[in-house]
Amino acid sequence: MTDGLYILIFLLGGMAFPIGSILVARLLSPSYPEPSKVSTYESGEVPFGEARVQFHLGYYAYALVFLIFDIEAIFLYPWAVIYKDLGLFGFVEMLIFILILVVGLVYALKKRVLEWM
Partner 1 sequence: MPEWVMAIIKILIVLAFIGLNGMFLIWAERKVAGFIQARIGPARVGRPQGFFQLFADAIKMFSKEDVRPAAADKWVWWFAPVVFFTPVAMAFLVLPFGPNVIGLDMNIGLIYLAAVASFALLGVFMAGWGSNNKYSLLGAMRAGAQMISYEIPLILATIGVIMITGTLSTQGIVEYQVAHGWNIKTQFLAFVVFFIAMLAELNRTPFDLVIAESELTSGFFTEYSGIRWGMFMFAEYTNIFVMSALAVTLFFGGWASPFGLVGSVLIFLIKTYAIVFLIIWIRWSVPRVRIDQLMTLGWKFLLPLSLFNIVFTGLILLI
Binding-site ranges for partner 1 (CB under 8 A): 2-3, 5-7, 9-11, 13-15, 17-19, 21-22, 24-26, 28-33, 35, 37-43, 47, 50-52, 57-59, 62-63, 65-66, 69-70, 73, 76-77, 80-84, 87-88, 91, 94-95, 98, 101-102, 105, 109, 114-116
CB of residue 91 to partner 1, shortest distance in Å: 5
Contacts of 94 (CB under 8 A, 6+ apart): 76, 79
Which residue, among 73, 64, 66, has the nearest Cα to 97 in the 3D structure? 73
- Are 97 and 75 contacting, i.e. CB atoms less than 8 angstroms apart? yes
Q: Provide the 3-class DSSP secondary structure of residue 33.
A: coil
CB of residue 111 to partner 1, shortest distance in Å: 13
